[in-house]
Chains A and B, each alone.
Chain A
Amino acid sequence: MGKQEFLARLEEGLSGLPQEDIAERMGFYSEMIDDRMEDGLSEEAAVAGIGSVEEVVSQIVAETPLPRIVRERVRSNRRLQAWEILLLVLGFPLWFPLLIAAFAIILSLYIVIWALVLSLWAVELALIVGALGGLAAGVLFIFRGEGLQGLAVIGAGLALAGLSVFLFYGCRGAGKGALILAKKLALGIKSLFLKKEGAR
Chain B
Amino acid sequence: MDIQLKRGLLDVCVLAAIKDEDSYGYKIIKDLKPCIELSESTLYTILKRLETAKMLTVRSAEHDGRLRKYYRITAAGLKRIEEFKEEWKEIMSIYQFVVKEDRHG
Contact = CB atoms under 8 A, between A and B. Distances in A.
B26 interface: yes
A29 interface: yes
A50 interface: yes
Given A31-B69, A38-B64, A51-B39, A25 B24 contact: no
Interface in B46-105: 64, 66-69
B86 to A, nearest CB: 30
Contacts, number: 38
Summarize A's interface: helix, strand, loop or mixed.
helix
How extensive is the interface on chain A, given as a class? 10 to 19
- Can you list the 7 inter-chain pairs with the closest CB atoms, starting with the nearest? A35-B26, A59-B41, A32-B40, A28-B44, A50-B40, A56-B41, A31-B68
Interface of A: 25, 27-29, 31-32, 34-36, 38-39, 50-51, 55-56, 59-60, 63
Interface of B: 24-27, 30, 39-41, 44-45, 64, 66-69
29 contacts: A25-B44, A27-B67, A27-B69, A28-B25, A28-B44, A28-B69, A29-B40, A31-B26, A31-B67, A31-B68, A31-B69, A32-B25, A32-B26, A32-B40, A34-B66, A35-B25, A35-B26, A35-B27, A36-B26, A39-B26, A39-B30, A50-B40, A51-B39, A51-B40, A56-B40, A56-B41, A59-B41, A60-B41, A63-B45
